[in-house]
Structure 1
């Protein structure tokens, strides 16, 4: 996952497919979006998403890399939605709406993606190709 820059009129399904690796990624992002500007600790997020803290750490790391979530230092460290543009905020609104309307389709789409290690391997080559150009 590399930093995401939304395009005007971005398709929420394309955004989800191209940028999010799993249902927990999407649900965490939607939780951050709907609770903005409130920050969440890893443990709070794990409890809310019903997944282990170790998985939450990876989800947060990926969302930070996309620059959709930002770290709020302090004890304890919290994370929150990072609004970078009106286009990003509009995309998040339509992603949230799409997930509410089309939960099964979107969940199936995410579950059918290649495994995370396979995607990471492919990303390494994509990053290198972009860097070489």
Structure 2
């Protein structure tokens, strides 16, 4: 019996730098599952159990990151279309790892989120000024 697959250092860097949240990753995987399908915020919201505003924010982030394209027209619909082959291959590898090590990938995402939050909050902690000798 083996444990969950190891997450390589390269993949850890990719997750830390490119995946800000689990819903963001879930949105990528949703679009990736059917690259020819164009998704709007309402559809993504229903599938990921989010409100429509949160889903729209995720779709906008995917577009800004070069993971998705947006069609022309009044209804903004998004399709999976990574800008580079390297991005596509990293997402493919992440999808595979996530399917076999959901907890490990989720913990990695949460650890970076919590670390950033701690760093931000730490900036507002009042500290006693150093004593002058």
Whole-angstrom distance in 2 between the partners of 1:94 and 1:26: 13
**Which residue does 1:4 correspond to in 2?**
none
Contact 1:13 1:95 in 2 (8 A): no
Q: TM-score, normalised by structure 1?
A: 0.72
CA RMSD of aligned residues (A): 2.3
Contact 1:12 1:95 in 2 (8 A): yes
**Which residue does 1:49 correspond to in 2?**
48
SS in 1 for 2:73: coil
Instruction: Report 1:14-53 matches (<5 A).
Output: 14-53=13-52
Q: Identify if the C-alpha distance between structure 1 residues 96 and 74 changes in structure 2 by more than 3 Å, giving closer, same or farther.
A: same
In structure 1, the gaps of 5 or more residues are 1-9, 122-133
For the pair shown, the structure with the greater C-alpha radius of gyration is: 2
Once the two structures are overlaid, the 10-residue window that deviates more, 42-51 or 12-21, is 12-21
Instruction: Report 1:1-12 matches (<5 A).
Output: 11-12=10-11
The offset of 1:78, in angstroms, is 0.6
Whole-angstrom distance in 2 between the partners of 1:113 and 1:84: 25
Whole-angstrom distance in 1 between the partners of 2:104 and 2:81: 27
Whole-angstrom distance in 2 between the partners of 1:103 and 1:51: 19
Whole-angstrom distance in 2 between the partners of 1:87 and 1:20: 15
Whole-angstrom distance in 2 between the partners of 1:59 and 1:83: 15
Matched, 1:76 2:75: yes
The offset of 1:11, in angstroms, is 2.9
| Alignment: residue pair count | 110
In structure 2, the gaps of 5 or more residues are 1-8, 121-133
SS in 1 for 2:112: coil
**Which residue does 1:99 correspond to in 2?**
98
SS in 1 for 2:78: strand
